[in-house]
Structure 1
């Protein structure tokens, strides 16, 4: 993977959910997740309303990128619902999202 500056990675990751039809891969997913997390935290320090607006604006793209990431690991995107189970569900979902891509994915 090429080393690119953070803003360029974000641009690439942001475009992933709307333009790119290929699965995002681990790096693109985690850069997008980091952007969503840091954006929400930074805006939360400034204003809770801004943080809420940002979180709502990035919710659907985040779910889309996470579904593609799960498809890339040969799992259904619906398995994101496991994340609704506190603690254990979060750990299981993080484990699945962190796994390597499978080349012969049935979702590809």
Structure 2
């Protein structure tokens, strides 16, 4: 059984990441953080400049982990990280990423980027 490492998951560009890890360990916590900042900004209007600063710092800090996990999602689909360049196409790139990176299962069994993260050994 594989042990999970947050450091490897968020900072390394090697290996594979299944959809569940992508959604439950990156996307949903980030949206939860955005929701929390929004609620706090409405509840404490005087603290809005501080909350905007915190949000900006977290947003910048999330660039590397977001790229690392996106690359691992592509690796799980047996695709190169170069596919991320499709995100530069407005609207179409986002739709492509939602479907390919967020909805479709990775390749079954090992691929050139590693073993199947869903298969228990």
Answer whether contact 1:44 1:50 (CA < 8 A) is retained.
Answer: no
How many residue pairs get matched? 97
* 1:55 corresponding residue in structure 2: 59
TM-fit CA distance, 1:25: 0.9
User: Which protein is richer in helix relative to its size?
Assistant: 1
The separation in 2 between residues aligned to 1:13 and 1:93, in whole angstroms, is 25
Following superposition of structure 1 onto structure 2, how do residues 1-108 of structure 1 map, counting pairs within 5 Å?
A: 14-15=6-7, 16-18=9-11, 22-31=15-24, 32-44=26-38, 46=41, 47-97=51-101, 98-102=103-107, 103-108=109-114
Instruction: For structure 2, list consecutive stretches of 5 or more residues without a partner in the other structure.
Output: 42-50, 115-121
Higher Cα radius of gyration? 2
Residues 1:107 and 1:22: Cα distance change in structure 2 (over 3 Å): closer
* TM-score when normalising by structure 1: 0.74
The answer to whether the 8 A contact 2:15-2:75 is kept is: no
Q: CA RMSD in A?
A: 2.4
1:105 counterpart SS class? coil
Higher RCO by CA contacts (8 Å cutoff, separation 6 or greater) = 2
Structure 1 gaps, min length 5? 1-11
